[in-house]
Amino acid sequence: MDFNPESYADKALDLVAVYGPKIIFAIATLVIGSWLIKSAAKVLDKALAKKEFDSTLRPYLVGIFGMLLKVVLYISVIDLLGVKTTSFVAVLGAAGLAVGMALQGSLGNFAGSVLLLIFKPIQKGDLIEAQGITGVVESIQPFVTVVLSPDNIVHYIPNGALAGGPIKNYSINQDRRVDLTFGIGYGDDIDAAKAVFERVANECPDAHKNMGPDVFVSGLGDSSVNFAVRPYCSPDKYWDVYAYMHENVKKELDKAGISIPFPQRDVHIFEQKN
């Protein structure tokens, strides 16, 4: 078989003539498209920043936006090269479904973080109670929320469970009520005891002076007259007020000669005579 360089050169020229413009156009589309995607992502980021959008959620949205545009760009470039993308898109969809099923829990936690950052039931620094844990929110991460409990233990709560379950946020209202119950003896003066409770609550340095305290008889127990004493304070001063009230109520009741009943048992011993 004779080797004919001219025929191979002609075939090469034909291929260049057919596919050359497609390749050049595809490369130009890829370069320009990548630049446009970066520019669009920057514009979106600036727009969200100008709207004072949540700084933690903003990178996620910009990243997802850029990723989706890149997928569309790559599929378009492949199509420009003459490759049929129908089967490619089907394979990509099937792969995405398989990955989604495998990462179902992680994706649920990621979706939970997006919901938490959009609707903001909690924010960094809030004192919350959720999933059986009480503590201060340290950070909301893509998959977990970090909570520091009062005993200085760090807890990682999955965002899916956190977003889908009940949350108590003690930091939203800056006037938190401290519910306390004190009992006095049935023989003691109710009005004098009430005056003691009100005075101690008003003298508490961390209690709010613009509201409360609420002081009233809440019940008649088996061995005591029970008072509900409810001063108000900021959420971060709750335990300071709680400790102050218990210590100083005891001191002031002692000074006033008012008793605090405690359980007692009388034992009667009978001697049997022979």
Q: What is the CATH number of the domain that holds 199?
A: 3.30.70.100
State the Cα–Cα distance between residues 116 and 145, nearest whole angstrom: 10
Average pLDDT of 195-221?
92
Strands (E), the chain: 127-130, 133-140, 144-148, 154-158, 167-169, 176-177, 180-184, 214-220, 225-230, 232-233
Q: Residues of the chain with pLDDT > 90: what percent?
A: 35
State the Cα–Cα distance between residues 251 and 244, nearest whole angstrom: 11
Q: Do 30 and 83 fall within a single domain? A: yes
State the Cα–Cα distance between residues 43 and 236, nearest whole angstrom: 40
pLDDT the model gives residue 40 = 86
pLDDT digits (tens, 9 = 90+) for 125-183: 899 999 999 999 998 887 889 999 988 999 999 998 998 899 999 888 888 899 999 99
Give me the chain's average pLDDT, please. Answer: 82
Question: Which amino acid is it at 138?
Answer: E
Q: Do 11 and 97 fall within a single domain? A: yes
Let me know if residue 107 belongs to a domain: no
Q: Do 185 and 246 fall within a single domain? A: yes
Let me know if residue 114 belongs to a domain: no
Tell me the pairing of strands 133-140 and 127-130. Answer: antiparallel
What is the domain range of residue 98? Answer: 5-102
When pLDDT is cut at 50, 70 and 90, the band that residue 265 belongs to is: low
Q: Do 10 and 73 fall within a single domain? A: yes
Let me know if residue 208 belongs to a domain: yes
Helix, strand, coil percent content, the chain, rounded in steps of 5: 55, 15, 30
More confident residue, 210 or 79: 210
Q: Which of 4-8, 118-122, 235-239, 256-260 is the least confident region?
A: 4-8
Domain count, the chain: 3
pLDDT digits (tens, 9 = 90+) for 229-253: 999 999 889 989 999 999 999 999 9
Q: Do 92 and 135 fall within a single domain? A: no
Q: Residues of the chain with pLDDT > 70: what percent?
A: 78
Question: Residue 111 burial by CB count (10 A; 0-12/13-18/19+): exposed, middle or buried?
Answer: middle
Let me know if residue 76 belongs to a domain: yes
Q: Do 185 and 164 fall within a single domain? A: no
Is the predicted pLDDT of residue 56 greater than 70, yes or no? Answer: no
Which one of 11-15, 51-55, 145-149 scores highest in mean pLDDT? 145-149
pLDDT digits (tens, 9 = 90+) for 101-130: 655 566 788 888 888 878 888 888 899 999
Let me know if residue 53 belongs to a domain: yes
When pLDDT is cut at 50, 70 and 90, the band that residue 97 belongs to is: low
Q: Do 185 and 239 fall within a single domain? A: yes
Q: Do 12 and 87 fall within a single domain? A: yes
pLDDT the model gives residue 99 = 57
